[in-house]
Chains A and B, each alone.
Chain A
Amino acid sequence: MSILSLFVVIPVLMLLGLWLSRNLNQVRGVMVAGSTCLLLLSVWLTVTFVQMRGAGNTDAMLFTYSVPWFKPLNIAYSVGVDGISVVMLLLSSIIVFTGTFASWQLKPMTKEYFLWFTLLSTGVYGFFISIDLFTMFVFYEVALIPMYLLIGVWGSGNKEYAAMKLTLMLMGGSALLILGILGIYFFSGADTMNVLEIAAKHNIPVEVQKVFFPFIFIGFGVLGALFPFHTWSPDGHASAPTAVSMLHAGVLMKLGGYGCFRVAMFLLPEAARELSWIFLILTTISVVYGALSACVQTDLKYINAYSSVSHCGLVLFALLMMTRTACTGAILQMLSHGLMTALFFALIGMIYGRTHTRDIRKLGGLMKIMPFLSVGYVIAGLANLGLPGFSGFIAEMTIFVGSFENADTFHRTATIIACTSIVVTAVYILRVVGKILFQKVADPHYETLTDATWDERFSVCCLIFSVAGFGLAPLWASNVIGDAVGPILQNIL
């Protein structure tokens, strides 16, 4: 039994605990205890992982463990982590932990809400630890389905429509995925579902790869907000409750980028090399298009959703650049965007909870009324536009330097176009900050509103601390990720 299984066992125990709990305090108790355990576990895992790597352990995956699950199809419950999964697990734990506090006051049906929330995180954790294609897919589905209920029941605005749209589009992606997974399985000899073993065999004919690469890349790309399959994101985020937005933009969208890298590019390397140009065009469009769209939105969550399209586009963009530096940057960007967006959505949720509007035309002068939330919002905004000292800067710089390592005109042009997004990002962030936080108080009713409560403060502070922590001391994360990216890219180049 590997220690990694705890990442699934703890949430399952939490589910049990939630099911048994009688009142709100017990629910909260279970959530806090569970998410704290998960956070400590992932911190411990990160430290141990770094130590083991430092001690010279160069296995592709550490803490590996495998039990056969369904023999006829060679499906096994196989787990293992490399540097990429370790930081993703850390990210997930931070978001689940802070998300718990961000939904502290949530009503009604708190217990049910947390049940689905925990189920969702089970899927996320399971996805990041598994190295078996089918197990990965199962956890992926476990993570997607609760979203439908979480948005449909606890959401706001046009929630039924948004929930339906999000679920259908992501399910459409899943349909492509399962086809791709089966394709990989059968054409690699139909004797294993283990990612590492398939990669080591490296025996899928190039023509076949070229057929299945788009299936997998688009399948995961839908979740990673790949243009033009990103439209679930604005509606979905706008309608989702705070913690769900956090978890969704913060972690779930990372499943897309992670999958594209771990499955599509790792297992179908030749196709990745040959077809990357098509997707590179799409992601370059994503980056600029998302940023430009965000400039004219009026709903805070829409702005952030489009900003996510732009930033997640940058993740896929960097992956497709296929240099070690760029891919390291992509993973750093996943980490950084996860934390920053979670912070943003948390703050937007808290502001919305008070003002009951997210329309920036109706907001104004919040700095005077809720200084804590507003300062948090300014920090989140500055982090988002890539201010040095926050994680966004290191991720973007790594990506741009890495992308520039491709010296041909096509890649250069794409890189320079993507660079323009740093200006557009500044435009939409400062536009919002200037409108809603500064200037005169827009509505006299706002004068009576209160600033953040302790649970909200705690949640926001944790996130700011993480964003600044990664931004100030990026060396270890960059090294851990870089070591993990290397072997995967070796397969491609």
Chain B
Amino acid sequence: MDYSFVFLILLLPALTFVVLGLAGMKMSHKVAGLIGTTSLGIVTVLSYYTAFCYFTAGRGADGTFATLVPYNFTWLPLGALNFDLGILLDPISVMMLIVISTVSLMVHIYSFGYMHGEKGFQRYYAFLSLFTMSMLGLVVATNIFQMYLFWELVGVSSYLLIGFYYPLHAAVAASKKAFIVTRFADMFFLIGILLFGYYTNSFSFSFAGDIVMGNGAAPFIPVDVVKAVAAGGFIIPTALVLMFIGGAGKSAMFPLHIWLPDAMEGPTPVSALIHAATMVVAGVFQIARMFPLWIEYAPEQMSIVVYVGVFTAFYAAAVACAQSDIKRVLAFSTISQIAFMMVALGVCLPGHEAVLDNHAQLGYMASMFHLFTHAMFKACLFLGAGCIIHAVHSNEMSAMGGLRKYMPVTHITFLISCLAISGIPPFSGFFSKDEIITACFAYSPVVGWIMTGIAAMTAFYMFRLYYGIFWGTENKELHAHHTPHEAPLTMTVPLIILSVITITCGWAVNFGSFVSASGQDYQIHLDTQVAVTSCVIAVISIALATYIYKGEKQPVADMLYRRFPKLHRAAYKRFYMDEVYMFVTHKIIFRLVSTPIAWFDRHVVDGTFDFLAWGANEGGESMRGWQSGDVRHYAVWFLSGAVALTLVLLCI
């Protein structure tokens, strides 16, 4: 099979960005939107075609799909190393192509309606193309440096899109925060890359697809690790953990999560695409990509991923229960769900064996599976939230309530996605989350139960959100001058498509046949015990949410709120994490580091030079009197000098 056409997948959105960026302002909204959407449509078709060819090409002798590199060229030589750009096709990158192109296309179509008549419509589509190109480039990277390059580019597209409404202070602050926090994490990523590159003499993912498999088979990772091992066994684990910090920044893991809720200041379709479905899972993807190295060289350090993931999942779920802005609730739910994927990757190694058995690789598959299903239902939720915001012109739940009558399509698709994220069969989220929890139980029962508990919280806050929007008291006052209405077709069609995917993708195909840790065909078996337990718990949580939030009045919620005002306030304020950050950045870095340095520079360093100049000047001034121009003065000096010199000469 010839995959030489795949460069178009990257080139088309790049060209679209350039065309819309340069000539966009001269175009009408419609033309600009059509150019963007058409080009993305072609990209989607190509991605699906690639996936089709790739997965139907059959498996090799060892039962895995071939890892293909249709393109790879040296972009920048770096001494002994090379900075290559290329395209790598393996099961996870092909799967990501599908996810990105699908969600991006949906968002392109949706934005026709959502952004209708907005100033800067062309700019919006240009940035969407830029983002899509960068994200696609990230997933098909052939080496870690290429990943870093596109990693930065997705960061900047995210910056530009969060700050899309640039006249608003909040949007500007949020975009700045997002960029700086992720940049901070990227610094660790970069150092990790440097460390890794130096000791392995390669940035390449040549190990992609090679995961140690079988019973005690010899490890066979073709990376030159002689230098790394000679320098000490800690090198590769350190590099991997540093890269993980970078990934944690992008994937909004605690404590680097603070940018994601604020990023909701961007247009809602952007939140769906970037901050729910694609960019924020880059960290998960990065770990999946480096996975062979993790399990081979850093099995102990994987527990870091687990702990960070578990804590983040819990923290975000707790905060999500108290938020009133619907996009914020979804943002925290995204953080929590990404943490699920992280945990799933981390728990891949029960015990400390270097070899994966069939059971232990469940986590990897589950993580990728959840990435896939989550992208679809979370995009659907965000786009649904967009429709709602479009209808009531507010993000606050207090402006909503009782919307099910006005917006039936949004209501149904939103409900489907809520059921999916809560883990109710037969929706996709059930299958992927169930695999994650099974993997957690295999790792340790404690982690398993904690994750089950967090899954219950997920169901609870999602249905709190659902009832708050579609049931409960209608805000009559607000709806009096502006009756909410269903969104136009351009907006509802993507919702329907995404919810159809959400309904079917859990059971219609066996995900393990496409993506698995070893690359071999992996049959997903539902662990009945876990499945039943988590189902029952999810149903109980939903029932609880129904009991508390469904009615017109909410006595239980009010009672809880009165009983625990401090807890509610702390959760609402995200447990004061933002305040901590503000303190560190503004008070410490700006006031205690930068300002003194600037003062030091002006007054001490520069003062020294000014002092030298002043000294020279004063010295000159003081000697100036000697040049009085008065002949008598000169005569006295001349005579005394002559006498002194004569005396000196005589003495010698």
A423:B172 contact, CB within 8 angstroms: no
1/0 contact trace for A387-428 toward B, CB 8 Å? Answer: 111000110011011101101000000011001101100110
Contacts of B597 in A (CB 8 A): 289, 292-293
Closest CB in chain A relative to B502 CB, distance in Å: 35
A295:B590 contact, CB within 8 angstroms: yes
Residue of A nearest to B163 (CB): A438
A428-478 at interface with B (beta carbon < 8 Å): 430-431, 434, 437-440, 474-475, 478
Residue of A nearest to B149 (CB): A388
Known: A404-B194, A430-B179. A478 touches B167 (CB 8 A): no
Known: A165-B613, A292-B593. A401 touches B167 (CB 8 A): no
The residue from B78, B149, B166, B191 contacting A393, defined by CB atoms under 8 A apart: B149
A439:B605 contact, CB within 8 angstroms: no
Contacts of A398 in B (CB 8 A): 76, 78
B169 interface contact, C-beta 8 A = yes
B46 interface contact, C-beta 8 A = no
A423:B77 contact, CB within 8 angstroms: no
Residue of A nearest to B77 (CB): A478
B296 interface contact, C-beta 8 A = no
**CA–CA, A385 to B183, complex, Å?**
10
A169:B149 contact, CB within 8 angstroms: no
Closest CB in chain A relative to B225 CB, distance in Å: 16
A387:B590 contact, CB within 8 angstroms: no
Closest CB in chain A relative to B594 CB, distance in Å: 4
The residue from A325, A385, A386 contacting B79, defined by CB atoms under 8 A apart: A325
The residue from B74, B152, B194 contacting A475, defined by CB atoms under 8 A apart: B74
A324 interface contact, C-beta 8 A = yes
1/0 contact trace for A158-196 toward B, CB 8 Å? Answer: 000000010011000000000000000000000000000
1/0 contact trace for A36-47 toward B, CB 8 Å? Answer: 000000000000
1/0 contact trace for A285-302 toward B, CB 8 Å? Answer: 000010011011100000
Known: A398-B76, A422-B187. A427 touches B180 (CB 8 A): yes
**CA–CA, A405 to B80, complex, Å?**
10
A238 interface contact, C-beta 8 A = no
A439:B152 contact, CB within 8 angstroms: no
**CA–CA, A398 to B231, complex, Å?**
23
A228 interface contact, C-beta 8 A = yes
Residue of A nearest to B152 (CB): A388
**CA–CA, A136 to B267, complex, Å?**
57
The residue from B167, B179, B191, B601 contacting A440, defined by CB atoms under 8 A apart: B167
Residue of B nearest to A472 (CB): B75
Residue of A nearest to B150 (CB): A388
Known: A169-B609, A292-B593, A394-B76. A401 touches B194 (CB 8 A): yes
B167:A293 contact, CB within 8 angstroms: no
**CA–CA, A169 to B613, complex, Å?**
10
Q: How large is the interface on B (under 10, 10 to 19, 20 to 34, 35 or more residues)?
A: 35 or more
Closest CB in chain A relative to B194 CB, distance in Å: 4
**CA–CA, A400 to B148, complex, Å?**
14
**CA–CA, A397 to B187, complex, Å?**
12
A231 interface contact, C-beta 8 A = yes
B167:A368 contact, CB within 8 angstroms: yes
B172:A438 contact, CB within 8 angstroms: yes
**CA–CA, A325 to B168, complex, Å?**
44
A387:B601 contact, CB within 8 angstroms: no
Contacts of A434 in B (CB 8 A): 163, 172-173, 175-176
The residue from A169, A365, A419, A430 contacting B191, defined by CB atoms under 8 A apart: A419
**CA–CA, A405 to B175, complex, Å?**
35
B426-479 at interface with A (beta carbon < 8 Å): none
Contacts of B194 in A (CB 8 A): 400-401, 404, 415
Contacts of A387 in B (CB 8 A): 152-153, 156
The residue from B183, B606, B610 contacting A423, defined by CB atoms under 8 A apart: B183
A313 interface contact, C-beta 8 A = no
Contacts of B79 in A (CB 8 A): 323-325, 401-402, 405
Contacts of A231 in B (CB 8 A): 601, 605-606, 609
**CA–CA, A183 to B80, complex, Å?**
37
**CA–CA, A25 to B75, complex, Å?**
45
Contacts of B190 in A (CB 8 A): 400, 419, 422
**CA–CA, A297 to B601, complex, Å?**
12
B580 interface contact, C-beta 8 A = no
Contacts of A415 in B (CB 8 A): 194
Residue of B nearest to A293 (CB): B598
Contacts of B609 in A (CB 8 A): 165, 169, 231
Closest CB in chain B relative to A171 CB, distance in Å: 12
Closest CB in chain B relative to A397 CB, distance in Å: 7
Interface centre among B75, B79, B150, B590 (most CB of A within 10 A): B79
A346 interface contact, C-beta 8 A = no
B151-172 at interface with A (beta carbon < 8 Å): 152-153, 156, 159, 163, 166-169, 171-172
A105 interface contact, C-beta 8 A = no
Contacts of B608 in A (CB 8 A): 228
B75:A474 contact, CB within 8 angstroms: yes
B197 interface contact, C-beta 8 A = yes
Contacts of A475 in B (CB 8 A): 74-77
B533 interface contact, C-beta 8 A = no
**CA–CA, A474 to B79, complex, Å?**
14
Residue of A nearest to B168 (CB): A439
1/0 contact trace for B513-535 toward A, CB 8 Å? Answer: 00000000000000000000000
A367 interface contact, C-beta 8 A = yes
Contacts of B81 in A (CB 8 A): 401
A221 interface contact, C-beta 8 A = no
Contacts of A230 in B (CB 8 A): 605
1/0 contact trace for B261-297 toward A, CB 8 Å? Answer: 0000000000000000000000000000000000000
B198 interface contact, C-beta 8 A = yes
Contacts of B590 in A (CB 8 A): 295-296
A382 interface contact, C-beta 8 A = yes
**CA–CA, A325 to B191, complex, Å?**
17
**CA–CA, A264 to B41, complex, Å?**
58
**CA–CA, A324 to B145, complex, Å?**
20
B638 interface contact, C-beta 8 A = no
**CA–CA, A437 to B160, complex, Å?**
13
1/0 contact trace for B72-88 toward A, CB 8 Å? Answer: 00111111110100000
**CA–CA, A164 to B594, complex, Å?**
28
Contacts of B74 in A (CB 8 A): 475
Closest CB in chain B relative to A148 CB, distance in Å: 15
A479 interface contact, C-beta 8 A = yes
The residue from A296, A404, A422 contacting B595, defined by CB atoms under 8 A apart: A296
Contacts of B78 in A (CB 8 A): 325, 397-398, 401-402
Contacts of B598 in A (CB 8 A): 292-293, 296-297
Interface centre among A323, A324, A388, A440 (most CB of B within 10 A): A388
**CA–CA, A476 to B78, complex, Å?**
13
B184 interface contact, C-beta 8 A = yes
A295:B594 contact, CB within 8 angstroms: yes
B23-77 at interface with A (beta carbon < 8 Å): 74-77
Known: A419-B187, A475-B75. A405 touches B152 (CB 8 A): no
A426:B179 contact, CB within 8 angstroms: yes
A482 interface contact, C-beta 8 A = yes
A431:B77 contact, CB within 8 angstroms: no
Interface centre among A289, A296, A323, A324 (most CB of B within 10 A): A296
**CA–CA, A394 to B152, complex, Å?**
13
Interface centre among B81, B190, B601 (most CB of A within 10 A): B601
Interface centre among B83, B184, B598 (most CB of A within 10 A): B598
Closest CB in chain B relative to A308 CB, distance in Å: 14
B613-632 at interface with A (beta carbon < 8 Å): 613
- Pairs across A and B, CB under 8 Å, 15 listed: A228-B605, A289-B597, A292-B598, A325-B79, A387-B152, A387-B156, A388-B152, A389-B153, A407-B231, A422-B183, A431-B176, A434-B175, A437-B166, A439-B166, A482-B77
Closest 5 CB pairs of A and B: A325-B79, A438-B166, A231-B606, A388-B149, A295-B594
List 7 additional A-B contacts (Cβ < 8 Å) besides A292-B597, A393-B149, A434-B176: A165-B613, A289-B601, A293-B601, A296-B595, A388-B153, A397-B83, A439-B166
